[in-house]
Amino acid sequence: MTSPRASLLEAIARRVADYRQGEIPPMTPDHVDRWVCQFAPADQITLLEAMRALLQAYYVSREDARYFLAGLLSHPAIFGPDVHAGLQETRFLQSQRKGQSQADLLVLVDEILQAEHGLRLAECGARPRAYVYLDDCLFSGETALQDLKDAMRGVAPRTTLHLVVIAAYWRGLDRLRSELHQLAGNAHLTVKYWRAHEFYDVPDVPTRYDALWPRPSAADGTVQAYLKTLRGGRRPRDLFRPDGVPFEDTLFSSATARDVVERAFVQAGARLVLQSKVPNPYQRPLGYEKAPTLGFGAFFVTYRNCPNNCPLALWWGVANRWYPLFPRKINAEDAEDG
Run of H or E residues at 169: strand 159-169
3-state secondary structure of 135: strand
As a whole number, mean pLDDT of residues 263-278 equals: 92
Domain boundary among 172, 199, 226: 199
pLDDT, position 234: 55
Rounded to whole angstroms, the Cα distance separating 54 from 8 reads: 12
Residues 190 and 238 in one domain: no
Contact 314, 304 (CB under 8 A): no
Domain boundary among 160, 175, 199: 199
* CA–CA distances in Å: residue 41 to residues 17, 156, 205, 255: 25, 59, 34, 20
Residues 312 and 217 in one domain: yes
pLDDT in tens, 202-222: 988 889 999 999 999 999 999
| pLDDT bucket at 232, cuts 50 / 70 / 90 | low
Question: How large a percentage of the chain has pLDDT more than 90?
Answer: 76
Residues 141 and 193 in one domain: yes
pLDDT, position 99: 75
pLDDT at position 331 over 80: no
Residues 13 and 82 in one domain: no
The answer to the question of residue 63 being in a domain is no
As a whole number, mean pLDDT of residues 269-288 equals: 90
Radius of gyration of the chain (CA): 21
Residues 180 and 137 in one domain: yes
Residues 191 and 78 in one domain: yes
Residue 34, number of CB atoms within 10 A of its CB: 13
The answer to the question of residue 336 being in a domain is no
As a whole number, mean pLDDT of residues 110-117 equals: 97
pLDDT in tens, 139-153: 999 989 989 888 888
Residues 259 and 296 in one domain: yes
**Distant-in-sequence contacts of 3-7, Cβ < 8 A, 24+ apart:** 4/45, 5/44, 5/45, 5/48
The answer to the question of residue 68 being in a domain is no
pLDDT, position 98: 74
The answer to the question of residue 334 being in a domain is no
pLDDT at position 280 over 80: yes
As a whole number, mean pLDDT of residues 55-81 equals: 96
pLDDT in tens, 10-36: 999 999 999 999 999 999 999 999 999
Residues 260 and 225 in one domain: yes
pLDDT at position 334 over 60: no
Beta-ladder partners of 134: 164
The answer to the question of residue 67 being in a domain is no
As a whole number, mean pLDDT of residues 243-248 equals: 89
The answer to the question of residue 119 being in a domain is yes
The answer to the question of residue 104 being in a domain is yes
* Cα 269 → chain centroid: 18
pLDDT, position 136: 94
Residues 228 and 290 in one domain: yes
Residues 175 and 223 in one domain: no
The answer to the question of residue 80 being in a domain is yes
Contact 151, 163 (CB under 8 A): no
Lowest mean pLDDT among 37-41, 141-145, 332-336: 332-336
User: In total, how many domains does the chain have?
Assistant: 2
Domain boundary among 199, 223, 251: 199
pLDDT, position 338: 46
> Structural domain of residue 31, as residue ranges?
4-58+211-328
Residues 104 and 162 in one domain: yes
pLDDT at position 42 over 70: yes
Residues 80 and 193 in one domain: yes
